[in-house]
Structures are given as structure tokens and as C-alpha cells.
Amino acid sequence: MSDAKLREQICTFSRSLFERGLTPGSSGNVSVRLEDGGYLMTPTDSSLGFLDPARLSRLDRDGRLISGDKPTKEVPLHTALYDTRDGSGAVVHLHSIHSVAISMLPEIDPASVLPPMTAYYVMKLGHTALVPYYRPGDEAVAGAIRGLAGRYSSVLLANHGPVVAGTTLSAAVYAMEELEETARLYLMLRGLNPRMLTQAQVDDLVRHFDLQMPDDAEGHDHNSLV
């Protein structure tokens, strides 16, 4: 895909996320990895609803700004996922309200923050890890991401928001949307003891769709909600 088309795609998807209330104000950031190993990223303090394609931040493979506005302060967060998650072509970080709420609940399992509530959550995300709280922009968060060793395509930053990597920008956005909807379902059903997918049903999805699941999250009992 050409540079111009990638820029337009970033702005189109970002505007859609903003207009549907998935990340308010100037929160959230989006990046795409380029064929030369560099990146296109949304600028710092910019609203995802009002991006200018020409002003997106163009970084080289070492994270140095080549052109455009100053990039998001979450550059280390993005590059840590690219470096550890093979095949990642895009990363999306939002402050979507239901996912943020999940990250603050005491019963959350850091190895798998949401149970297998729907087939599409399992198919698009598998498991989501919880990363401890770090100040926004703190480079230490990159170390926490690297510590997951690429096992997860999605993580929740405690008291902050979700981050999802995908092979393409559209894949990352769709997976992010599935994460937020599953978080919303969890909060709606919390305390009602709903039926989750059984381990046999999850195993069937893994086999049928050739899914990769984090080893240390497999086998958890997710068939009840606190």
C-alpha cells in the first residue's frame, strides 16, 4: 500500500474510533509499520477525530522522527509490541471506557483479563494480559510489554487503556472493537454467573482456526464471574 493510502487509512479508522466514542479528546494513538521498518504514527496531543494525513509522524526504524509533527509519547509502547510480536503491522491504543474499567477491577487475572465469553473474542484476541500501571509515556512500560515475549496480541494497561497489535491496521482496529465489546459484556453480566464457552469449545476454535494462545493462560477456569 502506498504511503498516501496508508496515511488516509490511519485517518479514516482513527476518525471512526473517535466518532463512536471509543477514545475521547486527544487520547489514544495509532501506528503502522512500513516496509522499510519505519513507522507512521499519530502525533502527540492530537485528536483521532481530526488528523491531517500530511502531518502524521514519520519515524525511521530506530524511532527517530523524519517528518511530520512530534509523535505520540507512547512510541516505546508501540515499538515494544512490534519488536516482540511477529507479524505485527499496526498497533492501536485507546482509552475506551469499558476496557479501562476492566483494568481497575480487583478480580482480574493478569494472564487473562477476560473469560471466553464469545467465539469472536477467542478468535480475534485469544487472551489479553494486564500490565501494571505506569505513567503515560513512561518508557518502563516497554519493558513490561517485552516481558510478555510476544505471547499476547492485546494488553490492558492498568488504569489507562487497551493496546492491540494486528497484522494490518484493519485487523488491529477490529480486534480492539471486539475487546471493548467483550469488556462491556463482562461489566453488564458481572455477578450474574453467565455461561462462558467451555474449554472444549475454546479448544475447538483453536484447532479449527489455527489460533495461537499464550501457554501460561491456557487451562484457566473462566466459567464464572465474580
Q: Could you tell me the domains of the chain?
A: 3-217 (3.40.225.10)
- Supply the DSSP symbol for 107: T
Sort 141 into a burial class: Cβ within 10 Å, 0-12 / 13-18 / 19+: buried
Q: What is the dihedral sign for C-alpha 25, 28, 29, 30?
A: negative
pLDDT of residue 226: 39
What number of other Cβ atoms are within 10 A of residue 189's Cβ? 15
Q: Which residues are catalytic?
A: 120
Interatomic CA distance for residues 84 and 88, integer angstroms: 9
| pLDDT per residue of the chain (226 residues) written in tens, 0 to 9 | 899 999 999 999 999 999 999 999 999 999 999 999 999 999 999 999 999 999 999 999 999 999 999 999 999 999 999 999 999 999 999 999 999 999 999 999 999 999 999 999 999 999 999 999 999 999 999 999 999 999 999 999 999 999 999 999 999 999 999 999 999 999 999 999 999 999 999 999 999 999 988 864 544 544 444 3
pLDDT of residue 224: 40
pLDDT of residue 141: 96
pLDDT of residue 219: 46
